[in-house]
């Protein structure tokens, strides 16, 4: 049973600045510190003085804690001998490399070739992972049916069912992410949390702590663009991709199809010290013959040009990869040879060698176009001074998704036009 200890405090207590904002934002200063020590009857004016009885108290505490640890270890050892099957499960759950064998598991990577929303694909993958990872636990901020994060037949965690692996966090995104951090800190649990991508603004402070502490928490963030449609601009993410990509030690994946989605989840459940965000669509996307496990490198050629050195390069992530592939086909009819590069994760692509990045985005090809249904912030390092972007220049609107993509220029024709403009 958890305990809550409430401590009533007053800023600057005991000092001449008690209750004042200056006690918070400025050093107290020598005179105020002297007055504070006199008021508290502190035994010395020596800076940073700590009485011996404090040291003695901590030494005793350390001894008592050592005894408690020894008793716990003995109890644990006795349980291991009495319940060897549970010990095996414990070891499996605390093995940070337990999911790495999935890289060669054909069943894990299998998918029927049909259009599907990446949020649905993610739900399918979660329900595969539950069988491989008995320590997988997670849930959503009252949105599991929409974010597809419910593990079927795994039960709901409650005081009546500690074995339940589905968590119902309620409409409290920040608290959900904080709880996710706590689960990740346990060391034997592989946790995920979920909400709509636009609400990552509420999640951000705890996601930042995930990154700062090096916790492998997974954030499942769906409804990733103007593809949300009729809910309108309040629910259509624009700047959120740039926000999360800017965070140190935080990996963002925006997969384009099933293979990339599986790769994203594989990375997430094999990460040991980096949180991962999976940014997923509401709308159906096609599957690509050229997609592969190379997605784990963050960027790769998903549809190659005919020539060794292409006339231009189209880069995209997620749902906009389709526009890149379609534009490639149209430009080919006019004798313009284009390479299409999928960049599901800028973070992982940046981690690759200079040689690899040069093989994907050769410096000699300066005609480049980036296509993404979000702000263009962050794409400049890839398109360069001679390239351009097909991106969102403002907030979205309320209309069917197809109408919005057309309104904001996310069409094959507009991508073709953009490529021609940089040749």
Q: How many CB atoms lie under 10 A from the CB of residue 60?
A: 10
**Residue closest to 325 by CA, chosen among 347, 307, 342, 345:** 342
Cα–Cα distance for residue pair 106/233, rounded to 1 Å? 40
Could you tell me the strand order of the sheet in which 368-371 lies? 300-303, 338-342, 312-316, 368-371, 388-390
Cβ-based neighbours of 218, under 8 Å, separated by 6 or more? 138, 190, 191, 192, 193, 265, 268, 269, 275, 276, 277, 278
Pair of tokens at residue 88 = 């095996």
Backbone angles phi, psi at 218, to 5 degrees: -105, 130
Which stretches within 156-303 are classed as H helix? 173-186, 200-213, 240-245, 258-270
Q: What is the largest CA-CA distance in the chain?
A: 87
**Set 116, 173, 322, 372: catalytic member:** 173
Helix (H) or strand (E) holding 368: strand 368-371
DSSP bridge pairs for 303: 340
Q: How many CB atoms lie under 10 A from the CB of residue 31?
A: 9
Please state the separation of Cα 304 from the chain's center in Å. 29
By the 10 Å C-beta count (0-12 exposed, 13-18 middle, 19+ buried), 393 is classed as exposed
* Cβ–Cβ under 8 Å, residues 200 and 219: yes
69 noted as active-site residue = no
Active-site amino acid positions: 173
């Amino acid at each position: 049973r958890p305990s809550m200890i409430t401590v009533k405090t007053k800023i600057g207590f005991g000092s001449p600045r008690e209750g004042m904002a200056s006690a918070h934002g400025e050093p107290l200063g020598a005179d105020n510190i002297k007055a504070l020590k006199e008021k508290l009857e502190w035994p010395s004016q020596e800076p940073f003085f700590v009485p011996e009885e404090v040291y003695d108290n901590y030494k005793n505490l350390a001894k008592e804690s050592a005894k408690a640890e020894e008793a716990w270890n003995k109890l644990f050892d006795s349980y291991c001998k009495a319940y060897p099957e549970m010990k095996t499960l414990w070891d499996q759950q605390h093995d940070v490399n337990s999911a790495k064998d999935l890289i060669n598991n054909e069943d894990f990577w299998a998918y029927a070739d049909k259009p599907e929303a990446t949020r649905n694909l993610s739900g399918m993958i979660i329900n595969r992972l539950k069988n491989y990872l008995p320590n997988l636990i997670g849930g959503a901020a009252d949105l599991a049916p929409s974010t597809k994060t419910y593990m079927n037949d795994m039960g709901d965690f409650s005081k009546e069912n500690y074995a339940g692996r589905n968590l119902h966090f309620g409409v409290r995104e920040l608290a959900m992410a904080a709880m996710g951090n706590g689960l990740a800190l346990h060391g034997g649990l592989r946790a995920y949390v979920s909400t709509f991508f636009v609400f990552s603004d509420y999640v951000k402070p705890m996601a930042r702590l995930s990154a700062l502490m090096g916790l492998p928490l997974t954030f499942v963030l769906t409804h990733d663009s103007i593809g949300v449609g009729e809910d309108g601009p309040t629910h259509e993410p624009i700047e959120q991709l740039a926000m999360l990509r800017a965070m140190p030690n935080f990996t963002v994946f925006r997969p384009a199809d099933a293979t990339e989605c599986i790769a994203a989840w594989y990375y997430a459940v094999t990460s040991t010290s980096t949180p991962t965000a999976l940014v997923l669509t509401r709308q159906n996307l096609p599957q690509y013959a050229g997609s592969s496990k190379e997605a784990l490198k963050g960027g790769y050629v998903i549809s190659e040009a005919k020539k060794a050195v292409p006339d231009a390069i189209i880069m995209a992530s997620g749902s906009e990869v389709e526009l890149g592939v379609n534009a490639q086909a149209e430009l080919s009819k006019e004798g313009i040879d284009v390479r299409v590069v999928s960049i599901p994760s800028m973070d992982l692509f940046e981690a690759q060698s200079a040689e690899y990045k040069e093989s994907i985005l050769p410096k000699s090809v300066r005609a480049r176009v980036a296509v993404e249904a979000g702000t263009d912030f962050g794409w400049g390092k890839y398109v360069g001074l001679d390239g351009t972007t097909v991106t969102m220049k403002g907030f979205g609107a309320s209309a069917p998704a197809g109408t919005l993509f057309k309104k904001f220029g996310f069409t094959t024709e507009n991508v073709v036009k953009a490529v021609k403009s940089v040749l």
